[in-house]
């Protein structure tokens, strides 16, 4: 059970990290609601997520931050504060998570009806790959400069016309390009 909890914590940490790096080119960083993300908006979004993830405030995302996030999640589930999670507490947390997912799904549907898109990046493998790329010096920790550099690189890649802004058309083109690689769906006749 402890291994499962640690794994879940690591996945949550990597998901948060990836979403921060992804904050640059998608609509979530659009602070003024004009559907265009500027580099300043993207970097502000990335900085805000980094600050939230840096649980111990040391300026680096590392195992101690993962542990702090995991401990916070455990404490939220352990409602009777006895240091153990009962089946009832686990089931209640699972139900709450399902409700949050349903709420997010409903919001995506509403946005879709209004012509807005909610971009979502790939699964765990993609998030882990992003984390590995953000750790540019290979020390198994991500400093704020590394985190920011990864967000800037992602922004630059998405900003295809290099005007310092990512438009909905650029985001759409970027989504199409993500299907080129080892995780791409199989094509008919091998192509």
Where are the extended beta strands (E) located within 15-129? 37-38, 60-61
Is residue 8, in this structure, part of any structural domain at all? yes
C-alpha–C-alpha distance, residues 19 and 21, integer Å: 5
**165 three-class SS:** strand
Counting the structural domains of the chain, the total is: 1
**The pair of three-digit structure tokens given for residue 28, joined into one six-digit string:** 């979530």
pLDDT for position 22: 42
> What is the pLDDT averaged over residues 14-26?
45
> What is the pLDDT averaged over residues 33-54?
90
The radius of gyration of the chain's CA atoms, rounded to the nearest angstrom, is: 18
pLDDT for position 148: 93
pLDDT for position 152: 93
Higher-confidence residue: 63 or 78? 78
Burial of 1 (0-12, 13-18, 19+ CB in 10 A): exposed
pLDDT for position 135: 87
pLDDT for position 69: 87
Is residue 119, in this structure, part of any structural domain at all? no
Indicate the pTM of the whole model. Answer: 0.60
Largest CA distance in the chain: 58
Is residue 124, in this structure, part of any structural domain at all? no
Is residue 182, in this structure, part of any structural domain at all? no
Is residue 49, in this structure, part of any structural domain at all? yes
Identify the band that residue 145 occupies on the pLDDT scale cut at 50, 70 and 90: very high
Q: Which residue in the block uniquely carries the two structure tokens 């990864």?
A: 150
Is residue 105, in this structure, part of any structural domain at all? no
Its domain, for residue 17, covers 2-79+132-170
Is residue 111, in this structure, part of any structural domain at all? no
């Amino acid at each position: 059970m402890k291994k499962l909890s640690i794994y879940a914590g690591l996945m949550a940490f990597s998901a948060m990290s990836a979403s921060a790096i992804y904050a640059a080119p998608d609509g979530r960083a659009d602070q003024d609601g004009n559907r265009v993300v500027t580099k300043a908006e993207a970097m502000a979004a990335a900085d805000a997520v980094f600050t939230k993830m840096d649980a111990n405030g040391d300026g680096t995302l590392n195992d101690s931050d993962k542990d702090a996030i995991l401990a916070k999640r455990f404490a939220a589930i352990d409602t009777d504060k006895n240091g153990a999670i009962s089946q009832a507490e686990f089931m209640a947390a699972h139900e709450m998570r399902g409700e949050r997912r349903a709420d997010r799904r409903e919001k995506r549907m509403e946005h879709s009806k209004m012509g807005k898109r909610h971009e979502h990046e790939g699964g765990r493998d993609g998030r882990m790959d992003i984390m590995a790329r953000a750790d540019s010096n290979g020390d198994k920790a991500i400093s704020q400069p590394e985190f920011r550099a990864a967000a800037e690189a992602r922004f630059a890649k998405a900003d295809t016309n290099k005007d310092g802004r990512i438009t909905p058309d650029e985001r759409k083109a970027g989504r199409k390009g993500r299907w080129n690689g080892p995780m791409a769906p199989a094509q008919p006749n091998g192509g």
